[in-house]
Amino acid sequence: MAERPNDEPSDAVRDGFTVNHHVIDGVAVVAPNREVDMLTAPLLSEAIAAALAGSPRGLIVDLSDVTFFASAGMTVLVKAKEQVGDAFAVVADGPATSRPLTLVGLDDLLSVRPTLEDALRDLP
């Protein structure tokens, strides 16, 4: 895997919820933590917009540190996918993240991968 540059914590902080973003080989990686719900989803959306402002060659949303993922977060992911196109993937592995995405049928649309390495490898 490519060396990970310094994470740049975004200004998106609410009740311990943070979103970090960094770039690996020209791909923006946005990584929220804790709960993504109707209160924190707008912060995730803002972090994605900030990451895309740098004109990366792709975008990965890494949900590895997310403990709860609500429909508001899914809406943010679908909008990001529409904006980015095929150069988009989501890292989700576990009942809090991959299960909800699979249950609503978004796993294929959003290119859900179990690890960041898989997402980077499979990104066009």
Strand 58-62 and strand 88-91: the pairing is: parallel
Whole-number Cα distances in Å, 44 to 2, 72, 122: 24, 10, 23
In the chain, what are the domains?
24-122 (3.30.750.24)
pLDDT in tens, 60-88: 999 999 999 999 999 999 999 999 999 99
* Threshold 0.75, pTM exceeds: yes
Q: What is the pLDDT of residues 23-66, one digit of tens each?
A: 999 999 999 999 999 999 999 999 999 999 999 999 999 999 99
CB 77 within 8 A of CB 61: yes
Question: Which residues, including other chains, have CB under 8 Å from residue 7's CB and lie 6 or more apart?
Answer: 20, 21, 22, 31
State the CB neighbour count (10 A cutoff) for residue 3.
6
User: Is pLDDT above 70 for 4?
Assistant: no
